[in-house]
Structure 1
Amino acid sequence: MELEKEALPPAVVVMGVSGCGKSSVGEGIAARNGMRFVEGDQLHPARNVEKMAKGIPLTDDDRLPWLDRIGVEIKAAQDASQGLVISCSALKRSYRDRLRQAAGGRLAFVFLEGSRDLLLSRMQARQGHFMPASLLDSQLQTLEPPTGEAGVVTVTIDMALDDMVALACEELRGAAVKGGFHAG
């Protein structure tokens, strides 16, 4: 069943630890809804990418300029009345709150969650990505799951990509209809 595009929040952040499928799911949500997709990893300062490639976890100080660049992208899309889907780990509540504040309007999160074993196997299987599998445990330790936060839908990653995208879109629309996505 084709649902109305306008029911989706204007900005969607696909979040979770490395290996959960943020880029693939984000691209799928954007494609199904005629929205632009931005790969959040491309907004990292070069020094962040270098640290991660060397297996060094990022600190809050490393992440804040990156989160601010993502916030600028979200705000610019909203100011231009363009839908946007962006991938961003958004591991801590303070990071998500920073993005909500930058958005200045409705903002939704799709939290992709899965078991450590599944995440690790996905990270080990991908090629050409700067993030080594050795950083998975650091990300899992940093992760503050968005349980109970407004404007968040959760999708488990133990299903086919098309099913994950379809479920995310369905959940986003359902929550948007109920008025569940407001920055705060």
Structure 2
Amino acid sequence: MKNDLKQALSKVRDFEDPKISLEQYITPPALAADLVFTAYMQGDIESKKVADLGTGTGILGIGAELIDGEVVAVEKDDSALELAKENAEDLGANIDFLQSDVEEFGKSVDTVVMNPPFSVHSDTGLDFWEKALEVGDAVYGISPRGARDSIKSLVRSSNHKLEGVQEYEIGLPPSYGFHTEESRETPVDLIITKRST
């Protein structure tokens, strides 16, 4: 199932003109498939209400819908939202898209999946984590390794508990004109939390 998911997600189209102010990068299909499959194996996708916060290209929400999640994808950027809709249509994923800032999203869901905008030089993305911990019973989020302690602190001050951290090195292709390297390995974490009962 995971290989089929990875193969399907490899068809998701990337941003043609990514916006640096929004830190727009595509989630690599292998990492997206790992995140969604991990959540599925934990019982947090199939027949569950899933929110993809900051959906970008739609890759995580599409993955969740392909294995029977009921998905709402939240995105504030017009062009990213349009791309996500096109990607979902191309892959036959039935997703409810919502154009909104993440801070304004207030619907309680079973599961949040996300790869929030992040900078390897700051704690950008913590606002997404705050919202995810508020609305989701389970959270599966990708973040830069350098933000791990800040996220753990947020989790400790919430009604969630840390369930696991999986480490990855992802190759980010040059997406912006100032990128000079062909590809750059970036250490990221898949952080998993669950609401305490």
TM class, shorter-length: 0.3 to 0.5
Normalization by structure 2: what TM-score?
Answer: 0.34
Structure with the larger strand share? 2
